[in-house]
Amino acid sequence: MIGAKLMKSWKYPFILLFGIGVSNLGEWIYFIALNLMVLDMSGSPFAVSALYIIKPLASLFTNSWSGSMIDRFNKRNLMVLLDLFRAIWIVFLPFVTSIWSIYCIVFVINMASSMFRPASTAYITKLIPSDQRKRYNSLLSVIQSGAFLIGPAIAGILFLTGSPILAIYVNAISLFVSGIITLFMPDLEKQTLTNHTSHTKISWKLLKKDWLLVWNFSRKSPYIMFIYFLFSCVIVVMATALDSLEAAFAKEVLHLSDSDYGFLVSIAGVGIAAGAMVNTLVVTKIETSWLIGFGSVFVSVGYIIYAFSNSFFIAAFGFFILAFFLAFANTGFLTFYQNNIPVDVMGRVGSIYGWIEALFIIITTIIVGLSTELIGIQIVVIVGTLVMLLLAITLCIFNFQPSKARYYQPTKDA
């Protein structure tokens, strides 16, 4: 009886997790294939590195206005449209012969992806009851880590039997399947979104009104947005900037071969998977504030070990530590975000803060990259990880304030 009731309550969350898993798996296959395709066409590692800048640039271009549309559009239908839109554009990639044309298509695909994330977060928040979100988010980490491990392996098999083009088509199919799966999810906004709201035209006046709304929400909820900002700086901005130096650090400082570096990345994958699995077992017994605070600190400690390493084994240990605790930090933050940002403004808040995050990523990555030319890569990585640790400790201190405990509890109206 209890098992049947549990399966019924988790029917749609499991379907959604399956759809996300299929999409994430295809995304990793596509990511590796796209890198190889650009490298084969250009013969330039710099041309490949330019792909990493396109994602935050697409976010900068999109997130200033997309939140206004997300909050006024049916989230389930929007997710379906964005999946199908990306699938169609990905199908065109193998027919393109110009690097710049590939960049343009990838830019458009990333624009759709930057809209998909806040839309799906808002939909998940509506779908999952407050007291089940932590468990769902931990399962989501397992799905994402599994895609991180299995995706590259499938891509390798596809490369043996075909070309990167075949792998790109696999991602298009996975997005199409994900869109169809999402179509079978419940329409949670069928009654709540009026025709007037869903057909509101996005204008400059409306955008200014929505930006003001986000500003006023930030002023009224400074603690929530401060935690958001600090977490973003630690786990997204600093981590992305340091990751951009990962290959160069492995080659120039640790003197690793290509195969050794590949093995190092694989250890990080194992760490992510192990952390996600342990996370699902203990997540309901650990406070959300602890997941965010200690998770972020230990991710930073992993980066510190890696930065001060002088051998493969020490670097591998650091990689495993940072990857292992990433699932804890992400699960805690996503739960905190869902429980404290009103779902009717979640698209606008997430998009505009995502715009700020993308801007910080670009600026920080450029500063870090230029600094390596002036003072050396290891010093830059060490300084960067120390800044990351300082931010993480600050986040941890603010997480554990007794007066703020209410922000880490499930909402009553869920």
Reported as a single tens digit per residue, the pLDDT across 294-353 is 999 999 999 999 999 988 899 999 989 998 998 899 999 999 999 999 988 898 998 999
User: Is 38 within the bounds of a domain?
Assistant: yes
Q: Do 171 and 27 touch, CB atoms closer than 8 A?
A: yes
Predicted pLDDT of residue 2: 46
57 and 29 housed in the same domain: yes
Residue 373 and residue 317 share a domain:
yes
Q: Rounded to an integer, what distance in angstroms lies between the CA atom of residue 106 and that of residue 29?
A: 15
The one-letter amino acid code at 197 reads T
For residue 89, the model assigns a pLDDT of 93
Q: Is residue 1 assigned to a domain?
A: no
Q: What pLDDT score does 307 carry? A: 92
- Most confidently predicted of 111-125, 239-253, 358-372, 378-392: 378-392
Same domain membership, residue 253 and residue 392: yes
Cα separation, 187 vs 173, in Å, equals 24
User: Are 302 and 274 a contacting pair, CB within 8 Å?
Assistant: no
pLDDT tens digits, residue range 267-291? Answer: 888 888 888 889 888 888 889 999 9
Three-class SS of 135-146: HHHHHHHHHHHH
CA-to-CA distance for 113 and 371, rounded, in angstroms?
31
| Residue 12 · residue 84 · CB < 8 Å | no
Q: What is the pLDDT of residues 2-43, one digit of tens each?
A: 455 555 567 788 888 888 888 888 887 787 788 778 877 877
* Per-residue pLDDT, 10: 73
Establish how many alpha carbons lie within 13 A of residue 194's alpha carbon, considering only the half-sphere containing its beta carbon: 3
Distance CA 32, CA 171 (A): 11
315 shares a domain with 414: yes
Whether residue 25 sits in one domain with residue 114: yes
Say if 194 falls within a structural domain. Answer: no
pLDDT for 188-214, tens place per residue? 777 665 554 555 677 888 889 999 999
- Token representation of residue 192: 């709540």
List Cβ<8 Å contacts ≥24 apart for 254-260. Answer: 254/309, 254/310, 254/311, 254/312, 254/315, 256/312, 260/312
pTM exceeding the 0.75 threshold for the entire prediction: yes
Q: Hey, which of 62-76, 209-223, 370-384 has the most confident mean pLDDT?
A: 209-223
pLDDT at 400 over 80: yes
Q: Which domain holds residue 360?
A: 205-414
Give the burial class of 170: count Cβ atoms within 10 A of its Cβ; 0-12 exposed, 13-18 middle, 19 or more buried: buried
Give the pLDDT confidence of 61-105 residue by residue, as tens digits.
998 888 888 888 899 999 999 999 999 999 988 888 888 999 999
Is 195 contained in some domain?
Answer: no
User: Do residue 159 and residue 259 come from a single domain?
Assistant: no
Per the domain annotation, does 372 fall within a domain?
Answer: yes
Residue 183, amino acid = L
Considering only CA atoms, which of 51, 312, 30 is closest in space to residue 164?
Answer: 30
Assess if residue 49 is contained within a domain. Answer: yes
- As a whole number, mean pLDDT of residues 46-55 equals 76
Whether 291 and 224 map to the same domain: the answer is yes
Q: What is the pLDDT of residue 28?
A: 76
pLDDT range class, residue 143, cuts 50, 70, 90: confident
Count: domains in the chain: 2
pLDDT band at 187 (very low <50, low <70, confident <90, very high): confident
> Between residues 405 and 157, which one has the greater pLDDT?
405
Those residues with Cβ within 8 angstroms of residue 64's Cβ, 6 or more apart along the chain or in another chain: 207, 351, 352, 355
User: Between these two residues, 265 and 395, which has the higher pLDDT value?
Assistant: 395
Q: What is the mean pLDDT of the chain?
A: 85
Same domain, 247 and 278: yes
Q: What is the pLDDT of residue 11?
A: 79
Residue 213: Cβ within 10 Å count: 17
Could you say which of 188, 218, 236 is where a domain stops? 188
Same domain, 173 and 307: no
Q: Return the CATH number at 376.
A: 1.20.1250.20
b/e burial code for range 172-199 (CB count within 10 A of at least 16 → b):
bebbbbbbebbeebeebbeeebeeeeee
In a domain, 200, yes or no: no
Indicate if 267 and 386 belong to the same structural domain: yes
Q: Contact, 377 vs 249, CB < 8 A? A: yes
Is residue 319 within 8 Å of 302, Cβ to Cβ? yes
Final residue belonging to a domain, choices 188, 215, 230: 188
Which of 170, 282, 232, 210 has its CA nearest to residue 391? Answer: 232
**What three-state secondary structure class fits 335?**
helix
Q: What mean pLDDT do residues 240-250 have?
A: 82
Quick check: is 130 in a domain? yes
Domain match, 211 and 88 both: no
How far separated are the first and last CA of the chain, in Å rounded?
24
146 and 95 assigned to the same domain:
yes
Of the candidates 154, 188, 222, which is a domain's last residue? 188
